[in-house]
Amino acid sequence: MITVIAFVVALGLLIAVHEYGHYCVAVACGVKVLRFSIGFGRPLLRWTRKGSPTEFVLCALPLGGYVRMLDEREAPVPPAERHLAFNTQPLRSRVAIVAAGPLANLLLAVALYSVVNWTGVEEPVPVLAAPVAGSIAQQAGLVGGEWVSEAASGDDEPTPVVSFEDLRWRLTQAALSGQDMRLAVARAEGAPAREVTLPLGGLQVKDADASLFQRIGIVAPWTEPVVGEVMPDGAAAAAGLQAGDRVLRVDGKALSDGAMLRQYIRAGVDSQGVSHEQVWDIVRGGQPQRLQVSPRAERSGEGWIGRIGAMVGSAPAMTVVRHGPVDGVVKGVQRTWEVSWLTLKMMGRMVIGEASLRNISGPLTIADYAGKSASMGVTAYLIFLALISVSLGVLNLLPLPVLDGGHLMYYLWEGLTGRSVSDIWLERLQRGGVAVLLALMCVALFNDITRLVG
């Protein structure tokens, strides 16, 4: 139920803000707005405001919305109201009205990010877990336990890293941009730092997913190698492990953190799914013990990994990332720009085949993320709303004829040539735009189903 509610609230809010942007600028430009609708299908609510010609409507299917303005191209307009019609407005007014919807979504994202920055977000401190074996991070000399104080990509100047999530965001941007990443790392906060360069420029990145961080090698923040909750019917319980056991060594190899322990557990079965007994040296209640642990095989993709049926690794150390009134807005604008630019780059790379179409998400995935973020708390839900609002704003600015960006493309032609696009070409472009949009919707729905089934 929380997924449905969170999805409907998110969709309704983002659509309402988008259409309200069109509505406000249309009214400011002197255009008569006939209807402001959220959703399609059978109207559930209708109302008008005193002194306003606009009918406000809430419909049964909240999968879109529209602002219907007086327009000679849609219906006859009385001569006395011709100056109130959209199509009779100067070019600059029509551009402003059309662009206002996507810009409203981007401004909403700035506002949401700003609120999050003001209230603060609890995030893991930027201390690195043991890198994935054979990864870029391991080859660069990282071993785990390093505190990252600063980072920079390309030729940029280093700036402070405030949390592990901040570091992951920067790594994502650098990898997708094909730039190397420089990290200032130390053995503890405030200790002398050394510079480590991660050569991310050579990565052929097609998906911004978990596999990207596996290749980079920086997957999780540092945690202690302790055993958490133990499932009663798992391999951990069978071996005699208990919650709170601290693991020192596996098969004589010392552990640096929880990530390394998880790697050893996963490697506890061979390619045929056969489990291999491991010797664990642990400390329980201050006393050393030695246990025999046999991870159980579990399918993962086309291979096998080991599982022990227990939580592995302590909770990471956390910090509250909070910004002041002005800095919070500045950071909000910066994050909105970064997400917008990253979205555009990914779309461009998908068009030329450098990024996978699997990055396109549809309503099922959005609904799933809405429910998960809402269950995590208000802050996570606000971040989700900001991200979707940016995506909606950027998507609507694309030069597809059925989107706001398509209309702006028409107005650009009109501004350059002094004449509007002919009706014949308008019809052709609209049909092409509908075909492209339907194709994208089919891909998004296919990706949704594949994720859910997989």
Tell me if 37 sits within 8 A of 52, measured CB to CB. no
Q: What is the pLDDT of residue 209?
A: 62
User: Could you please report the per-residue DSSP string of 89-156?
Assistant: S-HHHHHHHHHHHHHHHHHHHHHHHHHHHHH-EEEE-SBBPPPPTTSHHHHTT--S-PEEEEEEETTP
Q: Is 73 left (phi over 0), alpha (psi -120 to 50) or beta?
A: alpha
Q: What pTM was estimated for this model as a whole?
A: 0.83
Looking at residue 454, the DSSP 8-state letter turns out to be -
Q: What is the pLDDT of residue 362?
A: 63
**Amino acid identity of 142?**
L
Q: What is the pLDDT of residue 196?
A: 93
What are the helix (H) ranges across 178-229? 210-216
What span, in angstroms and rounded, lies between the C-alpha atoms of 69 and 89? 12
Type of residue numbered 384: F
Residues of the chain with pLDDT under 50: none
> Under DSSP, is residue 6 helix (H, G, I), strand (E, B) or coil?
helix
Whether 182 and 170 have beta carbons less than 8 Å apart is answered as no
CA-closest candidate to residue 118, choices 321, 328, 319: 328
DSSP state of 239: H
pLDDT of residue 448: 67
User: How far from the centroid of its chain's Cα atoms is residue 171's Cα?
Assistant: 14
**Tokens (6 digits) for 6:** 């969170």
Structure tokens, 91 = 């070019």
For residue 276, what are the CA distances in angstroms to 72, 269, 273, 297?
A: 77, 6, 10, 10
CA 122 to chain CA mean position, Å: 18
Dist CA 21 CA 35 (whole Å): 14
Q: Cβ of 15: how many Cβ atoms within 10 Å? A: 21
Find, among 248, 236, 260, the residue nearest to 289 by Cα: 248
For the chain, domains (ranges, CATH) are: 90-120+324-454 (no CATH), 136-216 (2.30.42.10), 227-309 (2.30.42.10)
* Residue 454, token pair as written in the block: 């997989």
- Catalytic residue numbers read 19
> What was the pLDDT predicted at 206?
62
- Closest of 95, 98, 91 to residue 66, by C-alpha: 98
pLDDT score, position 183: 94
CB 220 within 8 A of CB 108: no
Single-letter residue type at 433: G
CA dist 138 and 124 (Å) reads 21
